[in-house]
C-alpha cells in the first residue's frame, strides 16, 4: 500500500489541466446499460472508481473498449448477467447507479448494498421507494437489492424526502424507458445531474427541468448510442485552487468551468485570493499573502459543496483569524480534524461545526487518510507544514484525484509516492 511523502513550505505556482468529473463519469457509464447501441464516453478521468465501474460492466458480460485517445466504447448488447456483486460494490457506492438502468431496460436487477467512504448515512431506501412507486417489485435480502418488473416501469410523481444526487440520477435513468411521464420533485440540482441528463438527451431521452428541483421525463420506447464528453471536475478544480491559496501561491487551472464554482470562488476571494476567469480557465493569485479565515456552511448545490469542506478546514488552519465551518450534508465528515490537530492545528468540534483558529505554522507528522476528501485536506496541510508529512492509506485519494502527486509536482510541490 502506497503513501505520500510531502516536504512543505513551497508556494504552488504554474498551470495544470483539470480531469473529467468522476461524479459525472460514473452515472454516464451506468447509463450505457440503457441501450443496445454503442456509446462512446470521452474525457473519463483515470481513477480507481472508474476502473471499478468498468470492471462492474465487464462482470455483467459487457466489454468496454478503450481506444488510443483513452475514450471508452461501451456495447451493452452483450450483457449476460444483471447482477452487481458485493466484491465490486463494497468499494464504491456509485455502483447503485446500475439499478435503475438494468431494471428499466432488462426488467430485473440484483445489486449488492453499497460501500464506499465512511462519511455517514447515505440511505438507499429513497432509490428503492421511488422505483417501487414506478411499479418495481423489490426485496432486500442476503445483502442484495433484488428488483424486477413485469413489462415496463410506469411513470409517476416522485417526491424525494431528502435531496439525493444518486437517487435523482437512478430515477431519472429508470424513467427514460418507462411508460408515460415521471416528475421528480425535490430533485438534486448538481451540475453532474445536468451532465447526465445531457448525455441521456443525446441518447434520445426526453428530459426537461434538469438543474432545477423539478425534473420531468417523458418515457420513450428505446434509447440509441451516442458520443459524449464528460464535464470537468469542479471538486478537483476547487481542491487545487484551495491548495494554492493555502500556500500563498499563484496558479492557473485549465479545461474547467468557472460557471459552476461560484460558491467556492466567492469563499476564496474572502480568503484574500485575486481571481480571474475565462471561458474554461481560472487563475488564482495570493500575491504571497497569508490567507484570511473564512466561515461557511455546506448544503446541496448551488450552495457550498460538502466535498470541499475538508479542504477549506486545512486552509483555515494556517489563516489569519478564526473560521467556523458547518457540515449539514453528512454527519460523520470531520475525521480529518484529529489528524490536523496532531500537526499543530487548533480545531474544536462542536456538534456539526468545526471552529478553526488559525496558527502561524503546521508541523509535519505521520497522518492517516480516512476518506476521499479528507485525504485531499491532509495533503494541503502537508503542503503548508514545516518538516516532512507522511500521508498513509492514500488508496482513498486515488478514488477521486487523477495523478495528484504529479499535478502538484508540476506546480512545484515537493511530494512523492513511496511504498508503505
Closest to 177 in 3D by CA, of 131, 223, 227, 224: 223
Which cell numbers hold the place of 192? 453532474
Catalytically annotated residue among 117, 199, 226, 317: 117
User: Using CA atoms, how far apart are residues 307 and 235, in angstroms rounded to an integer?
Assistant: 7
Q: Which among 6, 12, 11, 10 is positioned nearest to 365, based on CA atoms?
A: 6
**Helix axis angle, 22-31 relative to 191-202, nearest 10°?**
30
Contact 198, 190 (CB under 8 A): no
358-370 burial, b if ≥16 CB within 10 A, otherwise e?
A: beeebebbebbbb
Give me the phi and psi of 9, to 5 degrees please.
95, 5
Beta-carbon contacts of residue 104 (< 8 Å; ≥ 6 apart) = 34, 149, 152, 153, 173, 174, 175, 176, 177, 178
> What cell was used for 10?
513551497
Pair 111, 131: CB distance under 8 Å: no
> Is 108 designated active site?
no
> Residue 5: in which H helix or E strand, if any?
strand 2-7
Report which secondary-structure segment, H or E, holds 2: strand 2-7
Can you state the percent helix, strand and coil of the chain, rounding each to 5? 35, 30, 35
Place of cell 496532531: 342
Give the residue numbers marked as catalytic: 117
Amino acid at each position: 500500500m502506497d503513501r505520500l511523502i510531502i516536504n512543505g513550505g513551497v508556494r504552488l505556482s504554474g498551470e495544470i489541466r483539470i480531469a473529467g468529473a468522476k461524479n459525472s463519469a460514473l452515472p454516464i457509464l451506468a447509463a450505457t446499460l440503457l441501450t443496445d447501441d454503442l456509446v462512446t464516453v470521452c474525457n473519463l478521468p483515470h481513477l480507481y472508481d472508474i476502473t471499478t465501474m468498468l470492471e462492474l460492466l465487464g462482470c455483467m458480460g459487457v466489454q468496454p473498449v478503450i481506444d488510443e485517445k483513452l475514450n471508452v466504447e461501451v456495447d451493452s448488447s452483450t450483457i449476460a448477467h444483471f447482477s452487481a456483486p458485493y466484491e465490486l460494490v463494497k468499494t464504491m457506492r456509485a455502483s447503485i447507479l446500475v439499478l435503475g438502468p438494468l431494471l428499466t431496460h432488462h426488467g430485473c436487477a440484483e445489486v449488492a448494498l453499497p460501500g464506499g467512504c465512511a462519511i455517514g448515512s447515505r440511505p438507499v431506501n429513497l432509490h428503492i421507494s421511488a422505483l417501487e412507486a414506478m411499479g418495481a417489485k423489490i426485496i432486500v435480502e442476503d445483502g442484495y437489492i433484488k428488483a424486477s418488473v413485469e413489462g415496463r416501469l410506469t411513470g409517476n410523481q416522485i417526491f424525494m424526502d431528502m435531496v439525493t444526487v444518486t437517487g435523482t440520477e437512478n430515477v431519472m435513468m429508470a424513467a427514460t424507458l418507462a411508460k408515460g411521464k415521471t416528475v421528480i420533485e425535490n430533485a438534486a440540482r448538481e451540475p453532474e445531474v445536468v451532465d447526465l441528463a445531457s448525455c441521456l438527451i443525446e441518447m434520445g431521452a426526453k428530459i426537461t427541468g434538469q438543474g432545477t428541483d423539478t425534473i420531468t421525463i417523458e418515457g420513450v420506447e428505446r434509447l440509441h448510442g451516442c458520443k459524449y464528453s464528460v464535464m470537468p471536475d469542479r471538486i478537483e478544480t476547487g481542491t487545487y485552487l484551495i491548495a494554492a491559496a493555502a500556500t500563498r501561491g499563484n496558479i492557473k487551472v485549465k479545461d474547467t468551468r468557472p460557471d459552476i464554482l461560484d460558491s467556492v470562488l466567492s469563499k476564496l476571494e474572502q480568503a484574500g485570493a485575486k481571481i480571474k476567469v475565462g471561458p474554461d480557465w481560472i487563475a488564482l493569485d495570493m500575491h504571497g499573502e497569508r490567507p484570511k479565515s473564512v466561515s461557511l456552511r455546506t448544503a446541496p448545490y448551488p450552495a457550498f459543496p460538502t466535498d470541499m469542506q475538508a479542504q477549506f478546514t486545512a486552509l483555515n488552519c494556517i489563516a489569519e483569524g478564526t473560521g467556523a465551518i458547518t457540515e449539514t450534508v453528512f454527519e460523520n465528515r470531520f475525521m480529518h480534524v484529529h489528524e490536523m490537530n496532531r500537526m499543530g492545528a487548533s480545531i474544536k468540534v462542536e456538534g456539526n461545526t468545526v471552529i478553526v483558529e488559525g496558527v502561524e505554522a503546521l508541523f509535519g507528522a505521520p497522518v492517516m487518510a480516512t476518506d476521499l476528501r479528507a485525504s485531499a485536506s491532509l495533503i494541503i496541510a502537508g503542503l503548508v507544514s514545516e518538516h516532512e508529512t507522511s500521508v498513509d492509506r492514500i488508496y482513498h485519494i486515488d478514488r477521486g484525484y487523477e495523478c495528484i502527486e504529479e499535478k502538484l509536482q508540476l506546480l512545484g510541490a515537493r511530494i512523492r509516492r513511496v511504498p508503505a
